[in-house]
Amino acid sequence: MKTQLQKRLVQFSAQIVSIDQVFRPVFASRHLYMQMVRSSTSAALNYGEAQMAETRKDFIHKIGLVVKELKETEVNLEVVEEVKLCKDPVLLQNLLMECKELIAIFMATRNTARRNSDAA
């Protein structure tokens, strides 16, 4: 499961990195694109760190960072959608759906880890 989640995060980040070619050539597109590259890749990198967490508390914290970075990516995608900066709305919808699914997975992971931590 860990390997599948890491692969999904890496694939999601790679898709974000490669979408600059379907953005309209304006300043806002470049700004939002760079933010999404940072936040989506940060989510993948933080998940890698979470897998090597030294304590349960450290794991919970790092998974929380994954959620925060994915949420930032989601909001950026929503702004891109709202302002119609992407020339491929289907691709944008697919990225938004994957981002929302990843957020749900990692929020559930964090909540489970918290519950298990409280029970210990």
Q: How far apart are CA 66 and CA 71, in angstroms?
A: 9
Domain that holds residue 92: 2-115
How many structural domains does the chain have?
1
Q: Which residues of the chain have pLDDT under 50?
A: none
19: its two tokens? 């979408």
Q: Are 100 and 81 in contact (CB under 8 A)?
A: no
Q: Please give the model's pTM, rounded to 2 decimal places.
A: 0.94
- At 118 the pLDDT is 77
Query: Is there a domain that residue 9 lies in?
Result: yes
CATH of residue 55's domain is 1.20.1440.60
- At 119 the pLDDT is 73
Query: Is there a domain that residue 120 lies in?
Result: no
**HSE value, Cβ hemisphere, 13 Å, CA-based, for 114:** 10
- At 72 the pLDDT is 98
Q: Are 5 and 74 in contact (CB under 8 A)?
A: no
Q: How far apart are CA 97 and CA 100, in angstroms?
A: 5
